A and B are shown apart, each in its own frame.
Chain A
Amino acid sequence: MSLLIRLLQALALLLFVGAATAEHTSNWAVLVSTSRFWFNYRHLANVLSLYRTVKRLGIPDSQIILMLPDDMACNPRNAFPGTVYSNADRAVDLYGDNIEVDYRGYEVTVENFIRLLTDRLDEDVPRSKRLGSDAGSNVLVYMTGHGGDQFLKFQDAEEIGAWDLADAFGQMWEKKRYHELLFMIDTCQANTMYTHFYSPNIVATGSSELDQSSYSHHADNDVGVAVIDRWTYYVLEFLETQVTSANSKLTLGDLFDSYDMSKIHSQPGVRWDLFPGGEQEGRLRTVVDFFGNVQNVEIENANATDPGSLKEDLAEIARLVEKWRKRDEEYSAILGNSSQSQSEGAQSHTVQLSSKKPVGATKMAEAGSWGKRLVGLSVVGACTAVWVAGSILGRSA
């Protein structure tokens, strides 16, 4: 019998965790460009632009995994050596001073990407190459490259399928490697990539539907290549102009509502159904929940209702307060009952008056207090006299 009760308790606990709140304790970002070669300059620029944005909103380099398969900055064809720009105005050098590329060149493979997500890495793999997220982490996964129906090409000869990605996320969930996950992808037929996801707490969005191409936004005629893709460009535009600080209250709903098909030239897609509460709940998540680094303080375990948790404590305190008030009421009720028994038939008002009678008794002692004051005055007077006498005697000596 007790076993059954315990089981039920455990189940209830689990359900409670399942319907978790928006609280998360860390933010991670995995930003992946999957194509190499000079004419794919824009994919690198896409990723670097996003890298800059998440850094601006507070995610530190240690929590960003940046995968760049090619080095456009040092490509001999680059008319501006050492730089990467995502706009023809060349106002911001994305490849500036603070950039930490974690996977570069031929390290960017499907295998490495899946190993990174699922943390199936050797012990000697350095921290910078690991996704250290846990059950409290919100993870942003952004991918860009050349894709097709349910696949995304990696570099020259590899591709990752929609099922591979779904399984990787599934495994991440099982291993408690994310709390909530925002998946973004900019490639041709991008929306097909998230069709097979099955693990919960994922919001997915892509740039184009099945059989649709994703287009580049504009070319820089001095660099000689297209510098950014349309969908990424407009997502960034929203992030740069609207989400100006880490305190922004703009939601994912706002971000997705900003999609304008006439500008993007393809039909972006959003998938909510894996998110608890669906679209209604998902839309309320703020953008900085994923792009920023909002750290909620966790006491032991913020979500749990175990003894000792903050919630438990607060509830306990509330219970105690309630208990004391009740006790107080009970006490006063008991007192009232006793006075009633003393002067029967009297009203509650009189009861209160009668209960103040002991206070009246203390007043009676006021007369005696004058005597005490007199004693005190005489003592002070005597002391003063002694002091005066002493000082006179001392001067004479």
Chain B
Amino acid sequence: MALKSAIRNLRNNPQLLFVRLPNILSFLCIVVGVVWLLLLPLNDYSRQTYISENALLPGQVHAYFTGSEQNIFRGYKKEIQALIQEGPAGLKVATQKYEYTSAGIGYQGENVYGIIHAPRGDATEAIVLVAAWKTADDELNLNGVTLALTLARYFKRWSLWSKDIIFVFPPDSKTGTQAWIDAYHDLHPATVQPLPLKSGALQGALVIEYPFENHFHTLHIVYDGVNGQLPNLDLFNTAVAIAGGQMGIGANLQEMWKHDDSYQDRLKTILRGMTKQGLGYATGAHSSFMPYHIDAITLQPKGEGWEDEMALGRTIESLCRSLNNLLEHLHQSFFFYLLMQSNRFVSIGTYLPSAMLIAGNFTIMAIALWMRTGYYSDSKPGVSAGSDTPKSKSEKPSGTVTEKEVTESKLNGSTVAERVLALPLTLVSGLHLIGLVPLWIFNTIFHQYFTAATYIFVGVDVVLPLILAALLSNGLGISRPIVPQQYLLIKSFALLLLGLSLSTLATLNFSLSFMIGLLCAPLTFITRIQGAAAVRYPISVLGLALLNLLSPPAVLIGVCWYTGVPIETVLTQAAFGWDVWGMWTQVVVWCVWWPAWLIGCVLLGSSMF
């Protein structure tokens, strides 16, 4: 009985239903979303990794890359040190020149690559081995290149390849593979030469980085791709299984050199992975392969130990044999996962609700606002409370009556209100389009202006909402001034679009969606503040100040200050990503986050006018 009446009360109480409840629900969604993510490292929510592709058979072959091959390695190393660049005999070799320009910086280079044709294969598939002359950290990859050359000579003598093996030697890890892979699929820009020599469909790629002289201890596996795309988990697992199981070399990921498998370390690994995924930049030469659905990883020997280049060579040999066993593209295992340890992961089904809940909080609020604007009873008190609004005195002068009482009193006579959609729709879509302006600016101007542009943009972000708010309150110069219902509608549409974009994005790039969702979380609870001017002004100024701390350029400056990376470097990298790698992070920032943030500021700012 009590429950029934409680439900009836709830149903008959629009204040609760449309004002309080959505706030509570949205807040709960955010809290649960964050807590969910924090639960993931626990054993109950994560899973042991396993190899799901039967064909891979990791570590089931003896690797014979040893002994005399080491002499070859030394020989090649000497030759390379003498800067005599010569491909191993018997390989079909070709070169490719390319040139990129981004943010006023030119990038030129020449890829050298050779193909081992599978002696008994059908030349329809290929594996790629990449050794860039410069690693992702800009060190000379001397041992890596030498190892690749030695492996090329060694592989050439096996007759058991079912796929061609392509050895690529790009000049650096940023541009070379991108130019090569684009040209391989004939999708290269005019400044990149086409490839004179090609093979079959690429099934997998391994990048070797070994820039130092001493023996190593563990193998660091880098797997993040452009736009947060990941290689199939089977490839990563195979590498871990071969390195750990067969060769006895430990595997690290996400620069977690000391991982004691504790909750903190697991969470840290996940968060590092999410940061890289969210930013969506290329973490190595392997990243460029991912957009073409070619699974790729970089192997980086790390630490001081007793493993030499032969051990790395055997690992790569064994990996190549596993890839060689493949009958079709890697597809059995996960493409969407978060790794927390070399042998533990969570799959998309487990972690997705986290970002979805955060994205959902915006949608819940948007729907609630839409429903709320359908009642006269609800919109009027808002009008009446804001005494400086032109229409305020028209119906009920009840500035002292609390909103709830008003709502309840009006409830019985509540009718369906007509929504005035034109202005809110135009404003929201207009502001989203304006997002293209900073997108264009930050991807086009020369790199030396990036820092200045960022600071200018912080200023713009302070002023622009106030101008817009003033214009809105004064009727934008158009005949009819804005009504409070329209403020709610503006917020509703903005949140609806934000929720929609973020939930869609969550399935593609979970981390980016999660991060943007968290940064936008305050927008759910920001409304036009009503009440006495003495309360209104300080609150809205304070709110605006706080919101400005969460604006995209302010966050960028804050993060750069915290990590010690110059703003120019970050933005140059971002522009490069946009121009060369096909990175989409900026689009999300400027066309999803920034407009939503701007509308939140406008709403808060409008309470001052």
Given the known interface contacts A37-B55, A39-B54, the answer about A81 and B327 at a Cβ–Cβ threshold of 8 Å is no
Residues of A near B162 (CB, < 8 A) are 38, 75-77
Least CB distance, A49 to chain B, in whole angstroms: 20
Interface of B is mostly: loop
CA distance A226 to B325 in the complex (A): 13
Residues of A near B62 (CB, < 8 A) are 221-222
When the two chains form their complex, are residues A224 and B321 in contact, meaning their CB atoms are under 8 A apart? yes
When the two chains form their complex, are residues A81 and B120 in contact, meaning their CB atoms are under 8 A apart? yes
Encoded as 1 (CB less than 8 Å from any A CB) or 0, chain B from 506 to 522 comes to 00000000000000000
- Which residues A196-218 have CB closer than 8 A to chain B? none
Residues of B near A38 (CB, < 8 A) are 55, 162, 325, 327
Encoded as 1 (CB less than 8 Å from any B CB) or 0, chain A from 310 to 347 comes to 00000000000000000000000000000000000000
- Which residues A73-111 have CB closer than 8 A to chain B? 74-79, 81
CA distance A210 to B557 in the complex (A): 63
When the two chains form their complex, are residues B161 and A76 in contact, meaning their CB atoms are under 8 A apart? yes
When the two chains form their complex, are residues B121 and A225 in contact, meaning their CB atoms are under 8 A apart? no
Residues of B near A77 (CB, < 8 A) are 160-162, 324-325
When the two chains form their complex, are residues A221 and B61 in contact, meaning their CB atoms are under 8 A apart? yes
When the two chains form their complex, are residues B120 and A224 in contact, meaning their CB atoms are under 8 A apart? no
In the complex, B60 has a CB within 8 A of chain A:
yes
CA distance A242 to B350 in the complex (A): 55
Least CB distance, A77 to chain B, in whole angstroms: 5
Residues of B near A225 (CB, < 8 A) are 57, 60, 325
Residues of A near B159 (CB, < 8 A) are 79, 81
Encoded as 1 (CB less than 8 Å from any B CB) or 0, chain A from 14 to 42 comes to 00000000000000000000000111000
Residues of A near B368 (CB, < 8 A) are none
When the two chains form their complex, are residues B121 and A224 in contact, meaning their CB atoms are under 8 A apart? no
In the complex, B294 has a CB within 8 A of chain A:
no
When the two chains form their complex, are residues B160 and A79 in contact, meaning their CB atoms are under 8 A apart? yes
Residue among A76, A77, A81, A222 having the largest count of chain B Cβ atoms under 10 Å: A77
When the two chains form their complex, are residues A224 and B55 in contact, meaning their CB atoms are under 8 A apart? no
In the complex, A219 has a CB within 8 A of chain B:
yes
When the two chains form their complex, are residues B327 and A37 in contact, meaning their CB atoms are under 8 A apart? yes
* Cβ-Cβ contact count across A and B, 8 Å cutoff: 48
- Which residues B59-80 have CB closer than 8 A to chain A? 60-62
CA distance A219 to B246 in the complex (A): 14
Count of A residues near B, CB < 8 Å? 17
Q: What are 9 A-B interface contacts by the 8 Å CB criterion?
A: A37-B55, A38-B327, A76-B118, A76-B120, A77-B162, A77-B324, A77-B325, A221-B61, A224-B57
Q: Which of A75, A76, A224 contacts B60 (CB 8 A)?
A: A224
Residues of B near A219 (CB, < 8 A) are 60
CA distance A222 to B321 in the complex (A): 11
When the two chains form their complex, are residues B161 and A224 in contact, meaning their CB atoms are under 8 A apart? no
CA distance A137 to B85 in the complex (A): 71
Least CB distance, A195 to chain B, in whole angstroms: 27
Closest A residue to B161 by beta carbon equals A76
Sorted nearest first, the 9 A-B pairs with minimum C-beta distance are A224-B61, A76-B120, A76-B162, A221-B62, A76-B121, A79-B160, A39-B55, A77-B162, A224-B60
Residues of A near B161 (CB, < 8 A) are 76-77
Interface of A is mostly: loop
Given the known interface contacts A39-B54, A219-B60, the answer about A76 and B160 at a Cβ–Cβ threshold of 8 Å is yes
When the two chains form their complex, are residues A222 and B61 in contact, meaning their CB atoms are under 8 A apart? yes
CA distance A249 to B394 in the complex (A): 112
When the two chains form their complex, are residues A78 and B160 in contact, meaning their CB atoms are under 8 A apart? yes
Q: Which of B57, B121, B160, B321 contacts A39 (CB 8 A)?
A: B57
CA distance A221 to B318 in the complex (A): 11
Encoded as 1 (CB less than 8 Å from any A CB) or 0, chain B from 109 to 149 comes to 00000000011111000000000000000000000000000
Least CB distance, A75 to chain B, in whole angstroms: 7
Residues of B near A226 (CB, < 8 A) are 60
CA distance A38 to B121 in the complex (A): 13
Q: Which of B60, B118, B119, B120 contacts A221 (CB 8 A)?
A: B60
- Which residues B395-453 have CB closer than 8 A to chain A? none
Given the known interface contacts A76-B161, A76-B162, A79-B160, the answer about A224 and B118 at a Cβ–Cβ threshold of 8 Å is no
Residues of B near A79 (CB, < 8 A) are 158-160
Known contacts A38-B327, A224-B60, then 9 further A-B pairs from the complex at CB < 8 Å, ordered by chain A residue: A37-B55, A38-B325, A39-B55, A76-B118, A76-B161, A77-B160, A77-B325, A224-B321, A226-B60
CA distance A395 to B302 in the complex (A): 133
Closest A residue to B64 by beta carbon equals A222
Residues of B near A224 (CB, < 8 A) are 57, 60-61, 321, 325
CA distance A38 to B120 in the complex (A): 14
- Which residues A219-267 have CB closer than 8 A to chain B? 219, 221-226
CA distance A221 to B61 in the complex (A): 4
Least CB distance, A179 to chain B, in whole angstroms: 40
Residues of A near B118 (CB, < 8 A) are 76
Residues of B near A221 (CB, < 8 A) are 60-62
Residues of A near B61 (CB, < 8 A) are 221-224
CA distance A76 to B325 in the complex (A): 10
CA distance A226 to B61 in the complex (A): 10
Residues of A near B158 (CB, < 8 A) are 79
CA distance A219 to B321 in the complex (A): 15
- Which residues B321-339 have CB closer than 8 A to chain A? 321, 324-325, 327
Residue among A38, A75, A81 having the largest count of chain B Cβ atoms under 10 Å: A38
CA distance A75 to B327 in the complex (A): 11
Least CB distance, B161 to chain A, in whole angstroms: 7
CA distance A219 to B57 in the complex (A): 10
CA distance A225 to B71 in the complex (A): 30
CA distance A74 to B321 in the complex (A): 17
CA distance A39 to B325 in the complex (A): 7
CA distance A81 to B325 in the complex (A): 15
Encoded as 1 (CB less than 8 Å from any B CB) or 0, chain A from 287 to 323 comes to 0000000000000000000000000000000000000
Residues of A near B119 (CB, < 8 A) are 76
Least CB distance, A90 to chain B, in whole angstroms: 13
Least CB distance, A139 to chain B, in whole angstroms: 32
Closest A residue to B61 by beta carbon equals A224
Residues of B near A78 (CB, < 8 A) are 160
CA distance A77 to B326 in the complex (A): 10
Closest B residue to A37 by beta carbon equals B327
Encoded as 1 (CB less than 8 Å from any B CB) or 0, chain A from 53 to 82 comes to 000000000000000000000111111010
CA distance A201 to B54 in the complex (A): 39
CA distance A37 to B54 in the complex (A): 10
Least CB distance, A297 to chain B, in whole angstroms: 50
Least CB distance, B554 to chain A, in whole angstroms: 55
Least CB distance, B327 to chain A, in whole angstroms: 5
